[in-house]
Amino acid sequence: MSVSHVNNVGIRGIATAVPSHKVSWREAEAIFGEDAARIAEYIGVKKRCVVKNENICASDLCWEAADRLIKELNWERDSVDILVMVTQSPDYVLPATSCILQQRLALSRACAAFDVNLGCSGYVYGLWLASHLLSSGAGGRALVLAGDTSSRGVSPLDRATAMLFGDAGTATGLERVSVASPITFKIGTDGSGAQYLMIPAGGFRKPHSPETSIRRKYDKRNFRSEEDLFMDGAEVFSFMQRTVPPLVCELLEISGLSKDDVDAFVMHQSNQFALNYLSKRLKLSEGKNVIAMEQFGNTSSASIPLAITHALRKRLCEDSMRLMLVGFGVGWSWGACLLECGPIVIPEIIEVNSIAKQENTA
């Protein structure tokens, strides 16, 4: 796995936006019957924030977060040199969503903007890319936007996904500074697991057709089409078991730290059962592994910054914390970073009216 260290770069703020429309797990009782309560208990999701209007995209949620963060940080918009958009819910096949957001946010035409097509590990990858670019002298300030509208890609008749995924958009501001604690990254990829978490059709490999959009019965009781998200839960859990604990331990060893030296572990909010398993496997003290998905669901690339905003906002606004951020999932792809963070700017979570159509200009 790739290991790297970044100096003279710090996080200055994090903002998160979610749809105002909320869906309770009880709404699934009409479809799944008694299984709904069991699923909700297992995954630890009571409510999910989901977009209700098809006009609302991940870019709209990220725009809300980024616009608020820029204002809270008092940054001049032309001072942002790098814009990274991490999403698997782009506005279009092309152009890149980052290009659209550069215009909507009124950033400089000298700003480098590009998309990263990653999900669960995407936030860590976004930080890795932006911080290395800043450290190299490619710019002074960067925005990492991470957001997905995963709820739009799942079948409401699939027990594996229907009650799990929520929607969110986030923005993280980074800056090159003269003095900052180093950030250590460790990342990796194993494409042999691609088939276990994917949307099989709708891309160029298998284009949309009337056939691929038909929802069929799988596993005796689940219905989905080839254009819906497929998740093999057993394979995902097995991947997590063999990848995440060594990743955490190796990053600590590289950094010369123990688990007790870390104030909080913020991992991809996959599901409550998996996060509880990791807490026990890693022997983390109670409360050290942040779990913040009960009211939001699994928000893919946005889950780590959303969890920070929801669970650590007050402390990080006032003090510094040593954090380990861990992303893992679709790809297979994984990444972790260890950093000192705070005091930073973190506005309260923004609720976006997901019924009103968003404008396409800043």
Q: Which of 298, 310, 337, 341 is catalytic?
A: 298
Distance CA 85, CA 61 (A): 12
268 is annotated as an active-site residue: yes
Burial tier of 15 (Cβ tally within 10 Å: 0-12, 13-18, 19+) = buried
**Per-residue pLDDT in tens (0 to 9) along the chain, 362 residues:** 589 999 999 999 999 999 999 999 999 999 999 999 999 999 999 999 999 877 899 999 999 999 999 999 999 999 999 999 999 999 999 999 999 999 999 999 999 999 999 999 999 999 999 999 999 999 999 999 999 999 999 999 999 999 999 999 999 999 999 989 999 999 999 999 999 999 999 999 999 999 999 999 998 789 999 999 999 999 999 999 999 999 999 999 999 999 999 999 999 999 999 999 999 999 999 999 999 999 999 999 999 999 999 999 999 999 999 999 999 999 999 999 999 999 999 999 999 985 544 444 44
Helix axes 97-104, 58-73, angle to 10 degrees: 40
Which pLDDT score, from 0 to 100, does residue 354 have? Answer: 59
Q: Which of 49, 57, 111, 120 is catalytic?
A: 120
Cβ atoms of 86 and 113 closer than 8 Å: no
CATH topology of domain 1-354: Peroxisomal Thiolase; Chain A, domain 1 (3.40.47)
Q: Which of 62, 111, 268, 271 is catalytic?
A: 268
